[in-house]
Amino acid sequence: DAGITQSPRHKVTETGTPVTLRCHQTENHRYMYWYRQDPGHGLRLIHYSYGVKDTDKGEVSDGYSVSRSKTEDFLLTLESATSSQTSVYFCAIRRDGDTGELFFGEGSRLTVL
Amino acid sequence: LAKTTQPISMDSYEGQEVNITCSHNNIATNDYITWYQQFPSQGPRFIIQGYKTKVTNEVASLFIPADRKSSTLSLPRVSLSDTAVYYCLVGASGTYKYIFGTGTRLKVLA
């Protein structure tokens, strides 16, 4: 399962507060991803990283920022959380190599009141 | 980016074979086709992957025609525990910017 750990797994916060979600991997894969999933919907890419300090936007990046200061950690920050950011957030890594399967973490459920 | 199109939902009965087709007309030469399964409150997990022709593993088969513009996931003799959402994902050559489609919600009935 590529040793992916997300934290926190659950968080309740208030509108306007900053929130940081952490994704940690133990296998030093190059590519890491943050997706959000809303009830009854598919996965939407927020941001992804292709190396330390190398990140790019996904489909729904507004309101989110990311950082990757070391290979194993990819942080997702909501600078000022809004109720529309209530969602389940999944981190994923891409296995290095041509085939490149994605492996997902267990998810972080965020509720913004 | 290769966009994928799948049926939104399917129903089946236990013991039947289920085939879910995914369309990916803009697939690039180097792209692999990967299928994922997602249960409620869990992250998607890898089921099977292929590049061309047919691939089979212990849980599924994947059929890819010569033009590679579509693929079909085949689940033999489904059970209630196969009720899940199935996603087809095409490798994003060069950018590795993986965009998921809507997925197919499979419901297996007793």
By DSSP bridging, strand A65-70 and strand A73-78 are antiparallel
DSSP string, B6-21: --SEEEEETT--EEEE
* Nearest CA distance, A57 vs chain B (angstrom): 9
pLDDT, one tens digit per residue, over A54-91 is: 999 999 999 999 999 999 999 999 999 999 999 999 99
Which of B37, B51, B96 best probes binding to A when mutated, by most A CB atoms within 10 angstroms? B96
Judged by a CB distance cut-off of 8 A, whether residue B7 touches chain A is: no
Going from the C-alpha of B85 to that of each of A14, A34, B41, B45, B47, the distances in angstroms are 31, 19, 11, 11, 12
pLDDT, one tens digit per residue, over B15-64 is: 999 999 999 998 988 888 999 999 988 999 999 999 999 999 999 999 99
* Nearest CA distance, A103 vs chain B (angstrom): 7
Q: Is B61 helix (H, G, I), strand (E, B) or coil?
A: strand
Going from the C-alpha of B68 to that of each of A26, B1, B28, B106, the distances in angstroms are 34, 15, 9, 24
